[in-house]
Structure 1
């Protein structure tokens, strides 16, 4: 079976099943195991001098581990490939996590804050309705790219080894890829490689968001993406903001410190509601469907 056909099956399985709690209550999720591996490397090697070189060596360990593990699992046959790929995709769980923010916000602002705190790292205690909805929609856009489209893209390119490598590097970036005194040097290689691996998928995600909506403001999307603090996350955010006609990003607080980030699609509507969260979820599925259609076209060709 071709990689395109395998990933179609995995995407459909993930959309139908999501994250079966009965299974992950009995055994650790692969993402948890990846996090433990990165944490162990961080604990063991992020000490003393030459931390940048040690961080690069750890990235090489992750690359080799991902390639070997992916190849071993692939050798077990297409059924295993589909199952593993479905587990490492996150479309259904992303939709569920974003949906509960809208459901919580419909109950009360307090409940909306509680729900959005589960999916974002910014301060949530003082958020109003619009800030809660905006945070959920931004999370939807970013995680569509690095939780669905990027891993599926790398499966298309390099099969299960490509997907496992991507997830390991993305996990490493989320844990050690920060400009903090502890991780600025050690996590540099992981952060830069994650940027590189997401370079094409982030732009592809923006295209998949805009095409179904017939909103092809490529110039505006490129301009706003350049304002974002991330070289890649700005692309899906800018695309989704234009499709929905809303402003995203903007000022927000981290650890009690207000940061004046620029607005993405600054001319868009800033007063947001749970209805806008619902609209973003519709676009998540449309973009997912567009990627599925792209894979089907590859199979046919």
Structure 2
């Protein structure tokens, strides 16, 4: 069975089943296993001297281990590969987590803040309805790239080993790639490699969002808005989503009690938004999924 056909079936399986609670209550999710391995290594390696070198050694170890595990699973045929690929995609889970914020916000501001705190790292205690909605939509856009398009891209490029390498590095970046005193050196290699691995998928995600809404007529504006983001990649899907929904994203927000004056992305869009905008973002996620599935099956036919 071709790589593209396996990916297409995995996309459908993930969309149909998501992350079954009964399964992950009984066994650890692969992402959890990867996270525990990173924590174990970080506790033993992240100490002076040569923290940047030690962090690079960890990244090399993750890449080699992911490659070998992917190759090993592949020895058992297409079915285990299909199942693992579906597990490592996150379309349905992403939509559900984002929709949960909209549903909670309809109940109260407090419920909305509690729900969005589960999917973003910023301070949420003082967010109004607009801030909650923007946070959820930004998370939807960024995680569409990280959780669906980038894993699918690397599976097409390098099969299951490529997908596992991407997930390992992306998980490492989320854990140790922050520019804090503890991780600024040790997490440097993970953050840089994650930027490299996400460079093309982030722009593909932006293009898919644009194509499924207003076309590519605003591409130059999306590119300009993406440049305002602190990340070389996350700004692309966020800028595309902002224009697709005609909302302003980003803007001032607080981290660890400190307000930071980030610019708005698509500042001509609506700022005073609520759960209806979150609903439209979830619809956008499924539109991109549908186009991606069609493209993958077209590749399978070719």
For the aligned pair, the TM-score class normalised by the smaller chain equals over 0.9
Residue of structure 2 in register with 1:273 after alignment: 274
Per-residue CA distance 1:10-30 (angstroms, 9 max, x = gap) = 000000000010010011111
Q: Map Cα deviations across residues 105-137 of structure 1 (whole Å, 9 max, x no partner).
A: 000111101111111111111110000010000
Partner of 2:77: 77
Tell me the residue number matched to 1:30. Answer: 30
| TM-score calculated relative to the size of structure 2 | 0.99
Number of the residue aligned with 1:294: 295
TM-score, scaled relative to structure 1: 0.99
Per-residue Cα deviation, 1:235-293 (whole angstroms, up to 9, x for no partner) = 00000000100100110000100001111111111011100000000000000111111
Work out whether 1:208 is the aligned partner of 2:205: no
**Deviations along 1:216-251, whole A, 9 cap, x unmatched?**
211000000010011000000000000100100110
Q: Kindly state the Cα deviation for residue 200 of structure 1 after the two structures are TM-superposed.
A: 0.5
Q: Check whether the contact 1:215–1:243 (CA below 8 A) recurs between aligned residues.
A: no
Tell me how many residue pairs correspond in the alignment: 301
| CA-CA distance at 1:215 after TM superposition | 3.1
Residue 49 of structure 2 corresponds to 49
Alignment partner of 1:213: what SS?
coil
Query: Could you tell me how far 1:296 is from its partner in structure 2?
Result: 1.3
Alignment of 1:136-175 (within 5 A): 136-175=136-175
In the TM superposition, residue 76 of structure 1 has moved relative to its aligned partner by: 1.1
Give the SS at the match of 2:259. Answer: strand
Question: Shift of residue 99 of structure 1?
Answer: 0.5
Question: Which blocks of at least 5 consecutive residues in structure 2 are unaligned?
Answer: none
Moved beyond 2 Å, runs of 4+: none
How far 1:214 moved relative to its partner?
Answer: 2.9
User: d(CA) in 2 for partners of 1:151 and 1:120?
Assistant: 20
CA distance in 1, matches of 2:197, 2:146: 10
Question: Are the equivalent residues in 2 in contact too, given 1:225–1:238 (CA < 8 A)?
Answer: yes
2:4 — aligned with what?
4
Superposition map of 1:176-195 within 5 A: 176-195=176-195
Distance 1:14 1:39 in 2: 27
* Equivalent pair of 1:221/1:238 in contact (CA under 8 Å): yes
Moved more, 290-299 or 58-67: 290-299
State the distance in 2 between where 1:7 and 1:27 align: 24
For 1:131 and 1:280, how far apart are their aligned partners in 2? 15
* Matched residue SS, 1:258: strand
Greater mean alpha carbon deviation, residues 290-299 or residues 86-95: 290-299
Distance apart, 1:153 and its partner CA: 0.5
* Distance in structure 2 (CA, Å) of the matches to 1:42 and 1:17: 33
Report matched runs for 1:111-126 at 5 Å. Answer: 111-126=111-126
Alpha-carbon distance in 1 for matches of 2:263, 2:294: 34
